[in-house]
Structure 1
């Protein structure tokens, strides 16, 4: 693997309006892909064909994003608050405040990596030990990686650095590499780079001999032969879990390459390959949306995406991916985060005895918690 410090940046557009359109395209594309792919999750192509023929649009009565969209909003809000000053402590505190320590009963959604992470956090474990569970290689970081590419438009190495900080709470090894590939790819796509450059940017930030890199190379090498060839090149036949980061990320990039970055075909190719279809289509949609802008997304698909329902993360209810896009690429070059304005954050429910947190919701949600904060919320070991 080349040193990340030596990975060249991709020149980004100097026009903030163009960047904002690409930011909207990336995150709206993620949500659209998620909603399109959700009904086909964990299905084989033959099962998809038997039920719907070829999926060419929404097949759910009320299409909506799943955990992929809601966790992307979560990471986007966190990144907007801290920018390049993001630390592991910020991420860990946000996991506690927005997810682990909420008094809402059993955790309601998301994949195995999130469940494993929350079990560890609720036991009092901290990063990186919180990421040591049986599904640290899942695509749970890849599904929420696009905001990092949006924020670091034209800077794939910075996108990869930041997403690894986010992922250190929940993932290790191939799980981190998958997130880095997606973040770097979106960062390159945000410049309008060619499909080949987007793929090269993704490969440049992960080890050459990693499972993620090998799968990604195999997928794009056969992309010109269509979705069946892409799927055959990377899917682990007979393996029961479909959320493998190396597989899902490779399928997403393969779908994107097969369509040469065209939005509709990128997403539909990913959906119709099945497996972890909501995540693969979300990633393909983020890549294509960043490369082509929000105008490339069919109007009827975009119109169906409303504010998050909070079906997986209740704290994200009411937040829209387009609002997050605006926070990550503010108008007139204005910066959020350290030294800049503070964006809005979700409503939170605080434990008894935490009046300081109620007066200043950023004090715990984003900062390093004091002993008094952690004692009040019951998160100290």
Structure 2
């Protein structure tokens, strides 16, 4: 593959992640009615300041990223420093250090519930093999995009995704969701055709196999629904409302209403990850529309929009998003996403050598 194309796609994955995160920031944890009451009836299609009534990020400036992008870049730095390998203990400590720094700045947008509980146990000296056994939320998935840039969709990627999940999301749902996002990004970077890049069903089948080592499912069992099974269902459902003329019979609002009703948009991995795949399926050729739909959904909007942006950014490249937003999200947050993407691709090259 042309190296410049690969660079644009890797840059696009990180830019899509950050743009989706920043667009979903003002609406996170809010209902659709509350979003309209605070920001108006017209859908949000650019960066806006968070309302003073925003429950997690009150009055946060337009274009600001949240923990989704910050923790993804933290993981990226760990992968770069480790030449593609991941030291679980160092990674856990880096998350704790990040939380301390955010708390010192007065931020309310800190660790998610699973990560927070797990890291408290880690800090107390509990074995990392058991700290994440209750983590079924999407914290592992939201930060896994860099794994997909640094590695091919192979057993090594699966192992790094698993290791990145162990300390905080060591459950079937946590590990499945982390592998799904990481491998989707990795497949999309290498895809030659748009339809091939967005063939989510093939990916789900592949991940079902990748998620098994020595004949057993990785991660602790919980009674919650499988992320892979629900994602497969969500893709099938969304495909009924995809295509060139889908909007003629099923507009954005109708799609969003049904998605909330039958899939859900909570922080649980088995809702937010299938929701992200459903949006990516319907809007596979319209990446920016996909992010906008996600940002206006209600619920865990910043994470869903970030995952959608990462997957479709990897498939289409950075040019899929408005240049002004790519510039603004980096300027506001002091990011060098192209530089990080290039460093992760160099890790990928070394791993494949």
TM range (shorter): 0.7 to 0.9
Q: Measure how far apart 1:117 and its partner are.
A: 2.2
Q: 1:281 to 1:156 in 2, by over 3 A?
A: farther
Equivalent residue, structure 2, for 1:47: 34
Q: 1:214 to 1:336 in 2, by over 3 A?
A: closer
Q: Measure how far apart 1:202 and its partner are.
A: 3.9
**In 2: Cα distance, 1:101 partner to 1:278 partner:** 21
**In 1: Cα distance, 2:338 partner to 2:323 partner:** 14
Q: 1:92 to 1:295 in 2, by over 3 A?
A: same
2:25 is equivalent to residue 38 of structure 1:
yes
Residues 216 and 250 in structure 1, CA contact (< 8 A), matched pair in contact too = yes
Residues 18 and 329 in structure 2, CA contact (< 8 A), matched pair in contact too = yes
Equivalent residue, structure 2, for 1:214: 229
The Cα offsets for residues 290-318 of structure 1, whole Å up to 9 and x where unpaired, read as 00001111112112112685xxxxxxxx5
TM-score (norm 1): 0.72
2:202 is equivalent to residue 200 of structure 1:
yes
**In 1: Cα distance, 2:332 partner to 2:82 partner:** 22
The equivalences for 1:232-247 within 5 A come to 232-235=261-264, 242-247=266-271
Equivalent residue, structure 2, for 1:324: 340
Q: Measure how far apart 1:212 and its partner are.
A: 0.5
Q: 1:198 to 1:221 in 2, by over 3 A?
A: closer
**In 1: Cα distance, 2:73 partner to 2:115 partner:** 15
Equivalent residue, structure 2, for 1:172: 170
1:57 to 41, 46, 57: 46
* Unaligned segments of structure 2, at least 5 residues: 50-60, 212-216, 218-223, 242-254
The Cα offsets for residues 226-257 of structure 1, whole Å up to 9 and x where unpaired, read as 33333322118xxxxx2101111111111111
Q: Measure how far apart 1:151 and its partner are.
A: 1.2
**In 2: Cα distance, 1:199 partner to 1:71 partner:** 28
The Cα offsets for residues 195-249 of structure 1, whole Å up to 9 and x where unpaired, read as 542443145214699520222122212214333333322118xxxxx21011111
Equivalent residue, structure 1, for 2:80: 80
The Cα offsets for residues 311-331 of structure 1, whole Å up to 9 and x where unpaired, read as xxxxxxx55333321210139
Residues 73 and 319 in structure 1, CA contact (< 8 A), matched pair in contact too = no
Q: Measure how far apart 1:181 and its partner are.
A: 0.9
The equivalences for 1:130-145 within 5 A come to 130-133=131-134, 136-145=135-144
2:186 is equivalent to residue 191 of structure 1:
no
Equivalent residue, structure 2, for 1:288: 312
2:256 is equivalent to residue 227 of structure 1:
yes
Root-mean-square deviation (CA), in Å? Answer: 3.0
**In 2: Cα distance, 1:41 partner to 1:196 partner:** 26
Equivalent residue, structure 1, for 2:57: none
**In 2: Cα distance, 1:244 partner to 1:186 partner:** 21
TM-score (norm 2): 0.77
**In 1: Cα distance, 2:67 partner to 2:332 partner:** 10
SS of match in other structure, 2:167: coil
1:304 to 319, 325, 328: 328
Q: Measure how far apart 1:157 and its partner are.
A: 4.4
SS of match in other structure, 2:65: coil
**In 1: Cα distance, 2:48 partner to 2:23 partner:** 7
Residues 84 and 351 in structure 2, CA contact (< 8 A), matched pair in contact too = no
Find the structure with the greater CA-based Rg.
Answer: 1
**Further displaced range: 222-231 or 273-282:** 222-231
**In 2: Cα distance, 1:330 partner to 1:300 partner:** 27
**In 1: Cα distance, 2:286 partner to 2:165 partner:** 29
Residues 222 and 230 in structure 1, CA contact (< 8 A), matched pair in contact too = no
**In 2: Cα distance, 1:101 partner to 1:28 partner:** 24
Equivalent residue, structure 1, for 2:127: 126
**In 2: Cα distance, 1:82 partner to 1:291 partner:** 26
